[in-house]
Amino acid sequence: MAKPKIFVIYYSTYGHVHTMAQSIMKGVMKNENVDVEMYQFPETLGDDVLEKMHAAPKPNVPVIDVDKLAEADGFLFGFPTRFGAAPSQVKSFFDATGQLWSKGALVGKSAGLFFSTGSQHGGQESTAYSFLPHLAHHGIIYVPLGFPSPYMFENDAIVGGSAWGAGVIAGPDGSLQPTHKELEIAEIQGEKFAGVVTKLNPASETPVSADKNPEPAVVATPVAPVTKHKIAASEPVTKPAETAAPEPKKESSMRRLASRFKKIFS
Protein backbone atom coordinates (compact mmCIF):
# COMPACT_ATOMS: atom_id res chain seq x y z
CA MET A 1 0.00 0.00 0.00
CA ALA A 2 1.59 3.25 -1.17
CA LYS A 3 1.24 6.23 1.18
CA PRO A 4 0.92 9.83 0.00
CA LYS A 5 4.28 11.60 0.05
CA ILE A 6 4.95 15.10 1.40
CA PHE A 7 8.10 17.14 0.73
CA VAL A 8 9.13 19.86 3.20
CA ILE A 9 11.27 22.19 1.06
CA TYR A 10 12.83 25.32 2.49
CA TYR A 11 15.45 28.01 1.97
CA SER A 12 17.20 29.47 5.01
CA THR A 13 20.00 32.02 5.27
CA TYR A 14 20.41 32.32 9.02
CA GLY A 15 18.77 29.10 10.21
CA HIS A 16 15.38 30.43 11.30
CA VAL A 17 13.41 28.77 8.51
CA HIS A 18 15.39 25.54 8.94
CA THR A 19 14.27 25.42 12.58
CA MET A 20 10.69 26.07 11.50
CA ALA A 21 10.95 23.30 8.89
CA GLN A 22 11.93 20.82 11.59
CA SER A 23 8.77 21.63 13.55
CA ILE A 24 6.71 21.46 10.36
CA MET A 25 8.13 18.01 9.67
CA LYS A 26 7.49 16.93 13.24
CA GLY A 27 3.82 17.76 12.78
CA VAL A 28 3.61 15.89 9.47
CA MET A 29 5.14 12.79 11.07
CA LYS A 30 2.26 12.63 13.55
CA ASN A 31 0.20 11.28 10.67
CA GLU A 32 1.18 7.65 10.11
CA ASN A 33 -0.63 7.56 6.77
CA VAL A 34 1.92 9.73 4.94
CA ASP A 35 5.63 9.61 4.13
CA VAL A 36 7.66 12.81 4.50
CA GLU A 37 11.04 13.97 3.22
CA MET A 38 12.95 17.22 3.84
CA TYR A 39 14.90 19.17 1.22
CA GLN A 40 16.37 22.63 0.80
CA PHE A 41 16.26 24.91 -2.23
CA PRO A 42 19.51 25.26 -4.19
CA GLU A 43 21.73 28.16 -3.16
CA THR A 44 22.49 30.73 -5.86
CA LEU A 45 24.93 32.89 -3.91
CA GLY A 46 28.64 32.17 -3.81
CA ASP A 47 30.44 31.20 -0.64
CA ASP A 48 32.26 34.54 -0.56
CA VAL A 49 28.97 36.43 -0.62
CA LEU A 50 27.44 34.23 2.07
CA GLU A 51 30.50 34.77 4.23
CA LYS A 52 30.15 38.54 3.96
CA MET A 53 26.47 38.18 4.89
CA HIS A 54 27.48 36.14 7.96
CA ALA A 55 25.10 33.43 6.77
CA ALA A 56 24.74 30.28 8.84
CA PRO A 57 26.40 27.07 7.58
CA LYS A 58 24.13 24.92 5.45
CA PRO A 59 22.75 21.91 7.34
CA ASN A 60 23.19 18.37 6.07
CA VAL A 61 19.89 18.35 4.17
CA PRO A 62 19.69 17.19 0.52
CA VAL A 63 19.12 19.82 -2.15
CA ILE A 64 15.88 19.38 -4.10
CA ASP A 65 16.00 18.67 -7.82
CA VAL A 66 13.31 20.14 -10.08
CA ASP A 67 12.25 16.80 -11.57
CA LYS A 68 11.86 15.24 -8.12
CA LEU A 69 8.84 17.46 -7.41
CA ALA A 70 6.70 15.13 -9.51
CA GLU A 71 7.19 12.34 -6.95
CA ALA A 72 5.38 14.14 -4.12
CA ASP A 73 1.67 14.56 -3.46
CA GLY A 74 2.08 17.65 -1.29
CA PHE A 75 4.63 20.37 -0.52
CA LEU A 76 5.31 22.61 2.42
CA PHE A 77 7.48 25.46 1.14
CA GLY A 78 9.33 27.66 3.64
CA PHE A 79 11.51 30.72 2.98
CA PRO A 80 12.39 34.17 4.32
CA THR A 81 10.79 37.19 2.74
CA ARG A 82 12.66 39.60 0.50
CA PHE A 83 10.80 42.90 0.23
CA GLY A 84 7.44 41.16 0.66
CA ALA A 85 8.14 38.31 -1.75
CA ALA A 86 10.01 35.02 -2.00
CA PRO A 87 13.82 35.22 -2.27
CA SER A 88 15.60 34.85 -5.61
CA GLN A 89 16.74 31.33 -4.74
CA VAL A 90 13.13 30.15 -4.64
CA LYS A 91 12.09 32.15 -7.70
CA SER A 92 14.97 30.84 -9.81
CA PHE A 93 14.08 27.29 -8.81
CA PHE A 94 10.49 27.72 -9.96
CA ASP A 95 11.67 29.42 -13.14
CA ALA A 96 13.26 26.06 -14.00
CA THR A 97 10.00 24.09 -13.67
CA GLY A 98 8.83 24.77 -17.22
CA GLN A 99 9.08 21.14 -18.30
CA LEU A 100 6.93 20.03 -15.37
CA TRP A 101 4.41 22.74 -16.23
CA SER A 102 4.22 21.69 -19.90
CA LYS A 103 3.43 18.11 -18.83
CA GLY A 104 0.99 19.09 -16.08
CA ALA A 105 3.13 17.04 -13.72
CA LEU A 106 2.16 19.05 -10.62
CA VAL A 107 -1.55 19.50 -11.32
CA GLY A 108 -3.71 18.45 -8.37
CA LYS A 109 -0.90 18.39 -5.81
CA SER A 110 -1.21 20.43 -2.59
CA ALA A 111 1.02 23.06 -1.01
CA GLY A 112 1.30 25.08 2.18
CA LEU A 113 3.65 27.96 3.03
CA PHE A 114 5.64 29.15 6.05
CA PHE A 115 7.88 32.20 6.40
CA SER A 116 10.44 34.27 8.24
CA THR A 117 10.52 38.08 8.41
CA GLY A 118 12.60 40.65 10.20
CA SER A 119 9.66 42.40 11.84
CA GLN A 120 5.99 41.98 12.68
CA HIS A 121 4.99 43.90 9.55
CA GLY A 122 7.81 42.59 7.40
CA GLY A 123 5.58 41.02 4.77
CA GLN A 124 4.62 37.51 5.83
CA GLU A 125 1.17 37.84 4.30
CA SER A 126 2.31 39.69 1.16
CA THR A 127 4.92 36.98 0.64
CA ALA A 128 2.11 34.44 0.50
CA TYR A 129 0.06 36.62 -1.89
CA SER A 130 2.95 37.07 -4.29
CA PHE A 131 3.83 33.37 -4.25
CA LEU A 132 0.36 32.08 -5.10
CA PRO A 133 0.79 32.54 -8.90
CA HIS A 134 3.59 29.94 -8.81
CA LEU A 135 1.08 27.46 -7.40
CA ALA A 136 -1.85 28.52 -9.57
CA HIS A 137 0.05 28.18 -12.86
CA HIS A 138 1.06 24.64 -11.94
CA GLY A 139 -2.47 23.73 -10.82
CA ILE A 140 -1.27 23.17 -7.25
CA ILE A 141 -3.94 23.43 -4.56
CA TYR A 142 -3.02 25.99 -1.91
CA VAL A 143 -3.85 24.90 1.66
CA PRO A 144 -3.93 27.83 4.13
CA LEU A 145 -3.30 27.42 7.83
CA GLY A 146 -6.28 29.27 9.27
CA PHE A 147 -6.23 30.01 13.01
CA PRO A 148 -5.82 26.61 14.72
CA SER A 149 -3.79 27.90 17.69
CA PRO A 150 -4.82 30.27 20.51
CA TYR A 151 -1.33 31.82 20.26
CA MET A 152 -2.41 33.40 16.98
CA PHE A 153 -4.93 35.56 18.86
CA GLU A 154 -2.49 36.96 21.41
CA ASN A 155 -1.89 40.71 21.45
CA ASP A 156 0.47 41.05 24.40
CA ALA A 157 3.43 39.56 22.52
CA ILE A 158 4.64 39.39 18.92
CA VAL A 159 3.96 35.98 17.40
CA GLY A 160 4.78 35.16 13.81
CA GLY A 161 2.38 33.46 11.45
CA SER A 162 -1.11 34.12 10.15
CA ALA A 163 -3.94 32.35 8.36
CA TRP A 164 -1.61 32.06 5.36
CA GLY A 165 1.01 29.97 7.14
CA ALA A 166 3.29 29.65 10.14
CA GLY A 167 5.97 32.28 10.58
CA VAL A 168 8.81 33.54 12.73
CA ILE A 169 9.85 37.10 13.57
CA ALA A 170 13.64 37.01 13.32
CA GLY A 171 14.37 40.65 14.12
CA PRO A 172 16.13 43.20 11.88
CA ASP A 173 19.53 41.64 12.60
CA GLY A 174 18.30 38.04 12.76
CA SER A 175 19.06 37.75 16.45
CA LEU A 176 15.60 36.52 17.46
CA GLN A 177 15.13 32.76 17.34
CA PRO A 178 11.75 31.04 16.81
CA THR A 179 9.75 31.01 20.04
CA HIS A 180 8.02 27.94 21.41
CA LYS A 181 4.72 29.48 20.32
CA GLU A 182 5.87 29.92 16.73
CA LEU A 183 7.28 26.41 16.65
CA GLU A 184 4.05 24.97 18.01
CA ILE A 185 2.08 26.77 15.31
CA ALA A 186 4.45 25.32 12.71
CA GLU A 187 3.96 21.83 14.12
CA ILE A 188 0.20 22.27 13.97
CA GLN A 189 0.47 23.35 10.34
CA GLY A 190 2.41 20.23 9.46
CA GLU A 191 -0.14 18.00 11.14
CA LYS A 192 -3.13 19.77 9.57
CA PHE A 193 -1.56 19.74 6.13
CA ALA A 194 -0.84 16.02 6.34
CA GLY A 195 -4.50 15.43 7.13
CA VAL A 196 -5.56 17.32 4.02
CA VAL A 197 -3.13 15.42 1.81
CA THR A 198 -4.39 12.05 3.06
CA LYS A 199 -7.96 13.05 2.25
CA LEU A 200 -7.04 14.20 -1.24
CA ASN A 201 -4.71 11.24 -1.85
CA PRO A 202 -5.92 8.11 -0.04
CA ALA A 203 -3.37 5.30 0.16
CA SER A 204 -3.55 3.29 -3.04
CA GLU A 205 -3.88 -0.48 -2.98
CA THR A 206 -2.76 -2.92 -5.66
CA PRO A 207 -5.71 -3.34 -8.04
CA VAL A 208 -7.21 -6.81 -8.46
CA SER A 209 -6.38 -8.35 -11.83
CA ALA A 210 -9.31 -8.71 -14.19
CA ASP A 211 -8.27 -12.29 -14.98
CA LYS A 212 -9.02 -13.38 -11.41
CA ASN A 213 -12.64 -12.30 -11.62
CA PRO A 214 -13.63 -12.57 -15.26
CA GLU A 215 -17.04 -11.27 -16.19
CA PRO A 216 -19.47 -13.92 -17.53
CA ALA A 217 -19.69 -14.07 -21.28
CA VAL A 218 -22.82 -12.59 -22.77
CA VAL A 219 -24.69 -15.22 -24.82
CA ALA A 220 -26.85 -13.87 -27.61
CA THR A 221 -30.47 -15.05 -27.59
CA PRO A 222 -31.49 -16.53 -30.95
CA VAL A 223 -34.16 -14.54 -32.79
CA ALA A 224 -36.89 -16.31 -34.72
CA PRO A 225 -36.73 -15.66 -38.47
CA VAL A 226 -39.26 -13.22 -39.87
CA THR A 227 -41.41 -14.65 -42.71
CA LYS A 228 -43.37 -12.59 -45.16
CA HIS A 229 -47.14 -13.15 -45.32
CA LYS A 230 -48.37 -13.96 -48.78
CA ILE A 231 -51.84 -12.76 -49.71
CA ALA A 232 -54.02 -15.51 -51.06
CA ALA A 233 -55.98 -14.92 -54.25
CA SER A 234 -59.26 -15.29 -52.39
CA GLU A 235 -58.39 -12.62 -49.84
CA PRO A 236 -59.82 -9.21 -50.66
CA VAL A 237 -57.33 -6.41 -50.84
CA THR A 238 -58.56 -3.46 -48.84
CA LYS A 239 -57.28 0.04 -49.22
CA PRO A 240 -56.08 1.54 -45.95
CA ALA A 241 -58.34 4.18 -44.50
CA GLU A 242 -57.29 7.71 -45.34
CA THR A 243 -56.58 9.95 -42.43
CA ALA A 244 -58.05 13.37 -42.40
CA ALA A 245 -55.65 16.21 -43.13
CA PRO A 246 -54.71 18.11 -40.00
CA GLU A 247 -56.49 21.38 -39.52
CA PRO A 248 -54.31 24.43 -39.89
CA LYS A 249 -53.06 25.72 -36.58
CA LYS A 250 -54.84 28.72 -35.28
CA GLU A 251 -52.76 31.81 -35.00
CA SER A 252 -51.69 32.34 -31.43
CA SER A 253 -52.76 35.41 -29.53
CA MET A 254 -49.16 36.57 -29.20
CA ARG A 255 -48.63 36.26 -32.95
CA ARG A 256 -51.82 38.24 -33.64
CA LEU A 257 -50.70 40.89 -31.17
CA ALA A 258 -47.30 41.13 -32.82
CA SER A 259 -48.94 41.43 -36.22
CA ARG A 260 -51.10 44.30 -34.98
CA PHE A 261 -48.09 46.16 -33.58
CA LYS A 262 -46.31 45.67 -36.88
CA LYS A 263 -49.18 47.27 -38.77
CA ILE A 264 -49.36 50.14 -36.30
CA PHE A 265 -45.66 51.05 -36.43
CA SER A 266 -45.03 50.24 -40.10
- CATH value at residue 76: 3.40.50.360
Beta bridge partners of 80: 116
pLDDT tens digits, one per residue of 81-111: 999 999 999 999 999 999 999 999 999 999 9
d(CA 127, CA 42): 19
- Check whether 16 has a pLDDT greater than 60: yes
Alpha helices in the chain (DSSP H): 16-28, 47-52, 88-95, 98-103, 124-138, 180-200, 253-265
d(CA 151, CA 128): 20
* 205 inside domain: no
37 neighbors 104 (Cβ within 8 angstroms):
no
* 127 inside domain: yes
Domain residues for the domain of 113 are 5-200
- Reduced to 3 states (helix: H, G, I; strand: E, B; else coil), residue 39 is strand
The pLDDT of residue 200 is 95
The pLDDT of residue 261 is 47
* 138 inside domain: yes
* 35 inside domain: yes
Q: Predicted confidence band at 252 (pLDDT cuts at 50, 70, 90)?
A: low
* 228 inside domain: no
Rounded (5°) CA angle 173-177-183: 140
d(CA 74, CA 183): 21
pLDDT tens digits, one per residue of 122-154: 888 999 999 999 999 999 999 999 999 999 998
d(CA 28, CA 43): 25
| Count of structural domains, the chain | 1
Q: Predicted confidence band at 175 (pLDDT cuts at 50, 70, 90)?
A: confident
Of 178, 187, 182, 177, nearest in space to 162 by CA: 182
Side-chain-side CA neighbours of residue 166 (13 Å): 35
* 233 inside domain: no
Section 236-245 average pLDDT: 56
